[in-house]
Amino acid sequence: MSLLDLIAAADERGLAASAVACLERCLPQPAPGTGPEPLRPLWAACAEPRLWPARLAGARTVLDTPGHPGEPAARVRELLAAAPADRAGEPLRAWADACSVLALEVHLGHDMTAPAIPDPVARCRAGDPSGAGPLLAGEAARQTAILEMLAAVDEDAPAAAGLPRIRDVSTEGGRILRAAAARRGRVRS
């Protein structure tokens, strides 16, 4: 299934978790002394919808403090501001979709080679990463894997089932992006 299909079919927990994972990967390494990862509290809210409004407000506050500079962090702040306070329905699906696009665009921006295809983000979302750069194709594959893992969790499983594995996959993706950004920064210097 394509990313578009997976997002269309995802339940509310899957949408929330995939969106938080996308945003988390977009954030640069926090500056020393800035405290814990700003989106970490939202992970618990992926399992417990009643926690969502307070945890979302907390993440917004943390990202508004110094220590989270740069365009990706600014775009994450914009998406957090647009996140639905009620973690449900079509507004959540639209928000998760926008988070997916942002993560793909950020990865595209750090690819060292220009993609050989027109509109590579749309092509990757439609399930055709051929010709996309390695970072973009890798992020599309990561998003697909995360949504598939979430969809495979049994309905009778605890609400947090699968979330630790999703966090691991997302954390590794963040490391890959930060390494690519650092490499690109060295090349520009």
SS3 category, 175: helix
Each residue's pLDDT tens digit, 134-168: 999 999 999 999 999 999 988 778 878 888 999 99
Look at the chain and report how many structural domains it folds into: 1
d(CA 66, CA 62): 9
pLDDT averaged over every residue in the chain: 88
User: What confidence score (pLDDT) does residue 178 get?
Assistant: 86
Average pLDDT (87-104) is: 96
| CA of residue 110 relative to chain centroid, distance | 15
Please answer whether residues 161 and 153 qualify as being in contact, where contact means their C-beta atoms are separated by less than 8 angstroms: yes
Q: Give the pLDDT confidence of 31-72 residue by residue, as tens digits.
A: 666 566 788 889 989 989 999 999 999 999 888 876 666 788
Domain with 77, as residue range(s), is: 3-188
Nearest partner of 39 among 3, 6, 7, 83, judged by Cα: 83
Is the Cβ–Cβ distance between 17 and 166 less than 8 Å?
A: yes
**What is the pLDDT at residue 90?**
96
Q: Which amino acid is at 130?
A: S
